Amino acid sequence: GESASLPGFKLKQVTDWIEANLDEEFDLNRLAAMAGLSKFHFHRLFKQATGVAPAKYQMTARMNEARRRLRETPESVIAIALDVGFSSASHFAQVFRRETRMTPSEYRRQR
C-alpha cells in the first residue's frame, strides 16, 4: 500500500514548486501527481508533514510573497496581486485584510 508519510524530498519538490509558481491556480491533482500519491493520501500526508492543508500552504506562500513585495518593492498593489495569483486587486485586498487585519496600502505605509 501507500506509505504512511511523505518523503522529505517529495515534500520539498512540491513546496518548491508552489513557491516558484504562486500565480498557478491551486490544483490538488497536479500536486498529488508530483508526489506520486492519490489525492486523498497526498492531502493527508501533506497536512501531517506541514501542519496545514495544501491549499492553505499555497495561500500562505502567496501572502508572504505579497507582504515581502509591498515592503521591498515600489510595484503597484494590482501588479503584486496578479503576480502572486489573485484575479483582481479587490479579491487580493479582501484576503490580505482577512490575513493581516489591514489593507495592502496600510501595510505598505506602516513598514
Per-10-residue mean pLDDT of the chain, 111 residues long, equals 78 97 96 96 96 97 97 96 95 95 94 68
DSSP E strands, the chain: none
**How far is it, in rounded angstroms, from Cα 45 to Cα 75?**
37
pTM to 2 decimal places: 0.90
**How far is it, in rounded angstroms, from Cα 53 to Cα 15?**
12
Per-residue pLDDT, 110: 87
Task: For Cα atoms 72, 74, 77, give the angle at the middle one, nearest 5 degrees.
Answer: 100
